[in-house]
Amino acid sequence: MRLGFPVTILGRGDLRSHDARRWQNHPHLSVSLAYLRDLFLYLRGQKIYMYRLSAEIAPYLTHPALPQFHHQIEECETQLVAIGETARKQGLRLSFHAGAHVLLNTPDPNHKLRSLTELEALTRILDAMNLDEEAVIVVHVGGHYQNARAAMEEFVKGFKALSANARRRVVLEHDDRRFDVVDCLWIHEQTGVRLIFDLLHHQLHNPHGLSPAQALAACLATWPPGQTPKIHVATPATEMVRDRRGRPHPPRLNRHSHYINPFPIIDFLRSLPPIRDFDIMLEAKARDLALLQFRQHLARYAPDLQKRYKMA
């Protein structure tokens, strides 16, 4: 079982995940890939074998008004092959999470076209790295648009409009207030899209009353034999927040904590029956620091889980 985290490195302030300069300064995928080479060295030193790439790794790649950025993948073909080879040698599993603006079920045809274009571009990056089908692109269903079933059917149409290569990369995650695991299972039946289980989302939005173990098993079963599914794990923030007037308020439970509270995750993993292997993306605001602390907590409080799941 690999443990991973998304995008930002906090353990080394000099490491960047991607070229974040504005278009006027001519950012480029080549710069992002140079950053990744250093970042991968850090991951290797920390024995971290799973990482979510920034979806902005190729800045302005699909921007319709900035055609000068549209050929970055071709311009970086050699570098992409090299960075993919580095990831494979390290045993490093890579993925993307598409931005919230990527919506396959939007009723706006122009917005849908932009979403399809962006998913195809992220696919081309992973393909150019020669990564296998465990290197995925996570998306959500999207909005209800006043009709949840019609919105799900529209997602099916959007998914089927993707190229075969993109359909092999795109995976679907249920969310915390609109579309639950059961909804996503229906979409899987129509499309074959693999599903990502998110523990916190399931705890927040579970109208069908599935246990976490049932929901997890159903999502894992959507992945073909020979592939290792991935899941998302987070714990909610509990700290008091203040509004603009300084008045105290409770936090929203869908906000991720900075560090992982290990005990509910330990209880969840211990509760599972014998089950197929899966990897865990830890979604915590402290990023790599949260992963390193969580690993220490497992060693102290749950060495049985480290042994059972062969965690790395």
Contact (CB, 8 A) for 282 and 235:
no
Q: Are 28 and 19 in contact (CB under 8 A)?
A: yes
Q: Judging by beta carbons within 10 Å of its beta carbon (0-12, 13-18, 19+), is residue 94 exposed, middle or buried?
A: buried
Tell me how far apart the alpha carbons of residues 52 and 161 are, in angstroms, rounded to a whole number: 25
26, 8 contact by CB (below 8 A): no
- The domain spans of the chain are 3-309
Taking the CA of residue 186 as centre, how many other CA atoms within 13 Å lie in the half-sphere pointing to its CB? 13
In the prediction, which pLDDT does 310 show? 85
Cα–Cα distance, 130 to 85 (Å, whole number): 8
Nearest to 4 by CA among 299, 230, 270: 230
pLDDT in tens, the chain (312 residues): 999 999 999 999 899 999 999 999 999 999 999 999 999 999 999 999 999 999 999 999 999 999 999 999 999 999 999 999 999 999 999 999 999 999 999 999 999 999 999 999 999 999 999 999 999 999 999 999 999 999 999 999 999 999 999 999 999 999 999 999 999 999 999 999 999 999 999 999 999 999 999 999 999 999 999 999 999 999 998 888 888 888 888 888 788 899 999 999 999 999 999 999 999 999 999 999 999 999 999 999 999 998 888 887
Q: Cβ of 95: how many Cβ atoms within 10 Å?
A: 24
Q: Indicate the pTM of the whole model.
A: 0.95
- Backbone CA torsion sign across 9, 283, 230, 162: negative
Residue type, 265: I
Give me the pLDDT at residue 243, please: 84
**b/e burial code for range 169-191 (CB count within 10 A of at least 16 → b):** bbbbbbbbeebbbebbbebbeeb
> In CATH, what is the architecture of 3-309?
Alpha-Beta Barrel (3.20)
What is the per-residue pLDDT for 49?
A: 98
